[in-house]
Amino acid sequence: MRGHMEISTIRDEINLAIIISSLVLALSVGVSYCTLIGHMRGGGGMLAAPLDSTINPLFLSILLRNSVVALGLFSGVLTFGLSSLLNIAFIGFTVGSTTAAAIMEVGAKSVIISVAGYAIIEIIGYILAAASGLVPVLSILNYQHGIAGTTKFAIYIRRIRCSFILLMISLVFIFSGAILETLIIVSRS
């Protein structure tokens, strides 16, 4: 019985972490998009730098950049969720502002055609990675004193294993997104 209750609790904590991560991302995308739309025509920006080089092939460059982002989101397991929330907000601001700049430059239709195939998959990976950084702290906030022999610290440590599994799932999305992004970029060449 206790095992079933714990699985249900873990599931609830993961779902709540995903919802919080999604809301923070959506809010920051919206704020940055609305702040910049109409103000950036011709800007180019920091994301205009080429990904492909002789040192790192395109796929590896994309995969490494996005995996590092996912690990930054996972770092919330060490900072009681704070770095996960800050990083997912930063990603949201970046997505919103670069989307606004791209739409001003080439139009919404071109942006959707160019990035929708992989961006959605990568964003799901980022949300899951951010959620993985929030799960342990949510376990403390959801701590039940009735569980004999367990402390908040023990529950927190136990949830890191769940967080790691969620991170691995997010990296599968990141990997898949990198494959699609590479294929889309190469097909335009």
pLDDT tens readout for residues 53-104: 555 578 888 888 888 889 889 999 989 999 999 999 999 999 999 899 889 8
d(CA 7, CA 9): 5
d(CA 185, CA 80): 38
Per-residue confidence band for 47, with pLDDT thresholds at 50, 70 and 90: very low
Tell me whether residue 13 is in a domain.
yes
Tell me whether residue 43 is in a domain.
no
Cβ contacts of 38-45, under 8 Å, gap ≥ 24: 38/100, 38/104, 39/100, 39/104, 40/97, 40/100, 40/101, 40/104, 40/105, 41/104, 41/105, 42/105, 43/101, 43/104, 43/105, 45/98, 45/101
CA proximity to 99, closest of 79, 83, 120: 120
Tell me whether residue 50 is in a domain.
no
Tell me whether residue 45 is in a domain.
no
Pair of tokens at residue 141: 């906030």
* Domain count along the chain: 1
> What is the average per-residue pLDDT within 119-128?
96
**Average model confidence (pLDDT) across the chain:** 83
> What is the average per-residue pLDDT within 130-141?
91
Tell me whether residue 93 is in a domain.
yes
Tell me whether residue 44 is in a domain.
no
d(CA 88, CA 127): 7
Angle at 28 between CA 15 and CA 19, to 5 degrees: 5
Residues 99-137 as b or e (16 or more Cβ within 10 Å = b) = bbbbbbeeeeeebeebbeebbebbbbbbbbbbbbbbbbb
Q: Which domain holds residue 103?
A: 2-37+55-188
Does residue 172 register a pLDDT over 70? yes
Tell me whether residue 176 is in a domain.
yes
Contact 66, 128 (CB under 8 A): no
Does residue 126 register a pLDDT over 90? yes
> What is the average per-residue pLDDT within 170-183?
95
Angle at 49 between CA 26 and CA 181, to 5 degrees: 60
Tell me whether residue 48 is in a domain.
no
Question: What pTM value is reported for the model?
Answer: 0.77
pLDDT of residue 51: 53
Per-residue confidence band for 37, with pLDDT thresholds at 50, 70 and 90: low
